[in-house]
Protein backbone atom coordinates (compact mmCIF):
# COMPACT_ATOMS: atom_id res chain seq x y z
CA UNK A 1 0.00 0.00 0.00
CA UNK A 2 1.27 3.43 -0.88
CA UNK A 3 0.95 5.81 2.02
CA UNK A 4 -0.23 9.34 1.40
CA UNK A 5 2.25 11.13 3.66
CA UNK A 6 0.53 14.45 3.07
CA UNK A 7 -2.68 13.05 4.57
CA UNK A 8 -0.79 11.50 7.47
CA UNK A 9 1.02 14.80 8.05
CA UNK A 10 -2.18 16.85 8.17
CA UNK A 11 -3.82 14.33 10.48
CA UNK A 12 -0.70 14.20 12.67
CA UNK A 13 -0.56 17.98 13.00
CA UNK A 14 -4.26 18.06 13.86
CA UNK A 15 -3.79 15.35 16.51
CA UNK A 16 -0.74 17.13 17.89
CA UNK A 17 -2.41 20.53 18.16
CA UNK A 18 -5.67 19.19 19.57
CA UNK A 19 -3.84 16.87 21.94
CA UNK A 20 -1.69 19.63 23.36
CA UNK A 21 -4.45 22.25 23.47
CA UNK A 22 -7.21 20.02 24.86
CA UNK A 23 -5.55 19.80 28.27
CA UNK A 24 -5.11 23.57 28.36
CA UNK A 25 -8.58 24.43 27.10
CA UNK A 26 -10.43 21.85 29.20
CA UNK A 27 -8.30 21.05 32.25
CA UNK A 28 -8.54 17.58 33.83
CA UNK A 29 -10.61 16.31 30.90
CA UNK A 30 -8.26 13.41 30.24
CA UNK A 31 -8.28 12.30 33.85
CA UNK A 32 -12.05 12.57 34.38
CA UNK A 33 -13.42 11.90 30.90
CA UNK A 34 -10.63 10.35 28.81
CA UNK A 35 -13.01 9.64 25.92
CA UNK A 36 -13.50 13.34 25.29
CA UNK A 37 -9.79 14.13 25.11
CA UNK A 38 -8.38 11.23 23.14
CA UNK A 39 -11.57 10.12 21.43
CA UNK A 40 -12.52 13.52 20.06
CA UNK A 41 -8.94 14.29 19.10
CA UNK A 42 -8.68 10.94 17.33
CA UNK A 43 -11.91 11.39 15.40
CA UNK A 44 -11.11 14.94 14.28
CA UNK A 45 -7.52 14.07 13.28
CA UNK A 46 -8.77 10.95 11.51
CA UNK A 47 -11.38 12.92 9.57
CA UNK A 48 -8.68 15.35 8.43
CA UNK A 49 -6.34 12.54 7.33
CA UNK A 50 -9.12 10.60 5.59
CA UNK A 51 -10.42 13.71 3.85
CA UNK A 52 -6.98 14.61 2.51
CA UNK A 53 -6.31 11.00 1.44
CA UNK A 54 -9.79 10.51 -0.10
CA UNK A 55 -9.01 7.27 -1.96
CA UNK A 56 -11.27 4.70 -0.29
CA UNK A 57 -12.90 4.20 3.10
CA UNK A 58 -10.27 1.61 4.03
CA UNK A 59 -7.42 3.83 2.96
CA UNK A 60 -8.90 6.76 4.89
CA UNK A 61 -9.25 4.57 7.97
CA UNK A 62 -5.63 3.41 7.75
CA UNK A 63 -4.31 6.93 7.26
CA UNK A 64 -6.49 8.26 10.09
CA UNK A 65 -5.26 5.53 12.43
CA UNK A 66 -1.62 6.13 11.56
CA UNK A 67 -1.90 9.92 11.89
CA UNK A 68 -3.69 9.68 15.23
CA UNK A 69 -1.24 7.12 16.60
CA UNK A 70 1.79 9.23 15.62
CA UNK A 71 0.19 12.29 17.19
CA UNK A 72 -0.59 10.37 20.37
CA UNK A 73 3.00 9.14 20.62
CA UNK A 74 4.38 12.68 20.40
CA UNK A 75 1.81 14.10 22.84
CA UNK A 76 2.52 11.22 25.25
CA UNK A 77 6.25 11.87 25.02
CA UNK A 78 5.77 15.57 25.76
CA UNK A 79 3.42 14.79 28.66
CA UNK A 80 5.87 12.24 30.04
CA UNK A 81 8.82 14.63 29.88
CA UNK A 82 6.80 17.39 31.55
CA UNK A 83 5.50 14.91 34.11
CA UNK A 84 9.02 13.77 34.96
CA UNK A 85 10.27 17.35 35.18
CA UNK A 86 7.44 18.54 37.42
CA UNK A 87 6.20 15.35 39.07
CA UNK A 88 9.32 13.27 39.45
CA UNK A 89 8.76 9.53 39.53
CA UNK A 90 4.99 9.94 39.10
CA UNK A 91 5.60 11.31 35.62
CA UNK A 92 6.99 7.94 34.54
CA UNK A 93 3.76 6.21 35.60
CA UNK A 94 1.73 8.76 33.65
CA UNK A 95 3.91 8.21 30.60
CA UNK A 96 3.51 4.44 30.76
CA UNK A 97 -0.25 4.78 31.08
CA UNK A 98 -0.34 7.10 28.07
CA UNK A 99 1.78 4.75 25.99
CA UNK A 100 -0.52 1.85 26.88
CA UNK A 101 -3.53 3.81 25.66
CA UNK A 102 -2.00 4.63 22.26
CA UNK A 103 -3.40 1.44 20.76
CA UNK A 104 -6.90 2.49 21.79
CA UNK A 105 -6.40 5.97 20.35
CA UNK A 106 -5.98 4.52 16.85
CA UNK A 107 -9.59 3.25 16.85
CA UNK A 108 -11.29 6.69 16.80
CA UNK A 109 -8.65 7.84 14.32
CA UNK A 110 -9.50 4.99 11.95
CA UNK A 111 -13.23 5.66 12.28
CA UNK A 112 -12.66 9.35 11.65
CA UNK A 113 -10.46 8.56 8.66
CA UNK A 114 -13.21 6.47 7.09
CA UNK A 115 -15.72 9.26 7.67
CA UNK A 116 -13.35 11.85 6.16
CA UNK A 117 -12.79 9.73 3.05
CA UNK A 118 -16.54 9.20 2.72
CA UNK A 119 -17.22 12.95 3.01
CA UNK A 120 -14.58 13.73 0.39
CA UNK A 121 -15.83 11.08 -2.06
CA UNK A 122 -19.38 12.27 -1.62
CA UNK A 123 -18.48 15.91 -2.30
CA UNK A 124 -16.41 14.87 -5.34
CA UNK A 125 -19.36 12.90 -6.66
CA UNK A 126 -21.63 15.94 -6.26
CA UNK A 127 -19.14 18.15 -8.10
CA UNK A 128 -18.96 15.61 -10.95
CA UNK A 129 -22.74 15.44 -11.19
CA UNK A 130 -23.01 19.24 -11.15
CA UNK A 131 -20.40 19.46 -13.93
CA UNK A 132 -22.33 17.01 -16.12
CA UNK A 133 -25.56 18.94 -15.76
CA UNK A 134 -24.05 22.28 -16.77
SS (H, E, C) 36-74: HHHHHHHHHHHHHHHHHHCCCHHHHHHHHHHHHHHHHHH
Radius of gyration for the alpha carbons in the chain, expressed in angstroms and rounded: 17
CA 63, 64, 65, 67 torsion-angle sign: positive
- Helices 89-133 and 57-87: angle between axes, nearest 10 degrees: 150
Contacts of 102 (CB under 8 A, 6+ apart): 69, 72, 73, 76
Domain extents in the chain: 5-127
pLDDT by residue for the chain (134 residues), tens digit each?
688 899 989 988 988 888 777 655 555 555 544 555 667 788 888 899 989 987 888 888 889 888 888 888 887 777 777 777 776 666 677 667 777 777 777 888 888 989 888 888 888 777 777 776 55
Amino acid sequence: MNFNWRAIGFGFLTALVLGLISGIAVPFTDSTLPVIGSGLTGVVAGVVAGYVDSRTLGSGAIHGGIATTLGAIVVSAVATILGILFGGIFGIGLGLALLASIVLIAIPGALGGAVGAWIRSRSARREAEAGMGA
